[in-house]
């Protein structure tokens, strides 16, 4: 018995907000599957992702297999005071004696980066990350990822992300997260 050929991902492209909106249910399924969240999470996240598309500096990369199915997606925008994530990280840095002003000025927030679980481990996440950050605005990039030895964690370390805040619990998620950052460009 021969194994089925692995799908190709030669279509990795920047998506407009309209193109992501068209694929939003598919993108949210990837997010839910990759993060291990209950399916109902997609209903809560859909309006949030749509609102993010309106933020300054927003950009998105999508990876498609040869059947035109979304295999991975990543997006981000310029972080700013008043945004939920910015305020959460600011609070975390202040509570640990960190200096939020040194990190939270002029940054691109890597908000989401997810690859379908059956497509992970072949470098697709790194390709999406590199394309997303190539030309991203801001002096640095910041992101949050669950603590622990995951493929995402290893990817971020491999491309030079360092610790900004560790073992932080964001409102609404009981798991500990790391906030990681690095200068731009990659």
Cis peptide before 185 (omega within 30 of 0): yes
List, in order of start, the domains of the chain with CATH numbers: 11-183 (3.40.630.30)
177-183/162-168 β-pairing: antiparallel
> How do residues 77-124 score in pLDDT, each as one tens digit?
999 999 999 999 999 999 999 899 999 999 999 999 999 999 999 999
Among 75, 77, 107, 156, which one carries the catalytic annotation? 156
Closest CA to 143 of 108, 168, 174, 176: 108
Using a cut of 0.75, tell me whether the model's pTM lies above it: yes
| Residue 148, pLDDT score | 86
Using the CB atoms, write b or e for 13-42: b if 16+ within 10 Å.
Answer: eebebeebeebbebbbebbbbbeeeeeeeb
**How would residue 2 be classed by pLDDT, with cut points 50, 70 and 90?**
very low
Residue 10 has pLDDT above 70, yes or no: no
Q: Are strands 107-115 and 140-146 parallel, antiparallel or unpaired?
A: parallel
> Is-catalytic flag, 156?
yes
Place of tokens 């492209």: 13
Report CA-CA distances (Å) from 127 to 45, 62, 92, 178: 24, 10, 30, 22
For residue 186 the two structure tokens come to 């990659």
DSSP state letter for 109: E
Among 12, 20, 42, 19, smallest CA distance to 127 is for: 12
Nearest to 11 by CA among 62, 60, 59: 62
Per-residue pLDDT at 8 exceeds 70: no
Task: Give yes or no for residue 4 having a pLDDT over 50.
Answer: no
């Amino acid at each position: 018995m021969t194994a089925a050929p692995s799908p190709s991902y030669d279509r990795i492209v920047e998506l407009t907000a309209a193109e992501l909106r068209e694929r939003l249910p598919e993108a949210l399924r990837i997010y839910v599957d990759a993060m291990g969240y209950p399916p109902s999470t997609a209903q809560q996240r859909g309006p949030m992702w749509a609102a993010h598309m309106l933020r300054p500096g927003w950009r998105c990369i999508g990876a498609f297999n040869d059947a035109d199915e979304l295999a991975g997606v990543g997006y981000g925008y310029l972080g700013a005071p008043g945004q939920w994530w910015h305020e959460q990280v600011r609070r975390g840095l202040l509570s640990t004696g960190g200096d939020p002003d040194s990190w939270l000025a002029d940054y691109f927030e890597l908000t989401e980066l997810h690859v379908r679980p059956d497509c992970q481990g072949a470098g697709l996440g790194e390709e999406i990350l590199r394309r997303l950050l190539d030309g991203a605005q801001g002096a640095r990039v910041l992101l949050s990822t669950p603590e622990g030895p995951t493929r995402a964690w290893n990817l971020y370390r491999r491309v030079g992300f360092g610790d900004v805040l560790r073992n932080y619990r964001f409102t609404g998620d009981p798991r500990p997260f790391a906030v990681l950052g690095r200068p731009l460009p990659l």
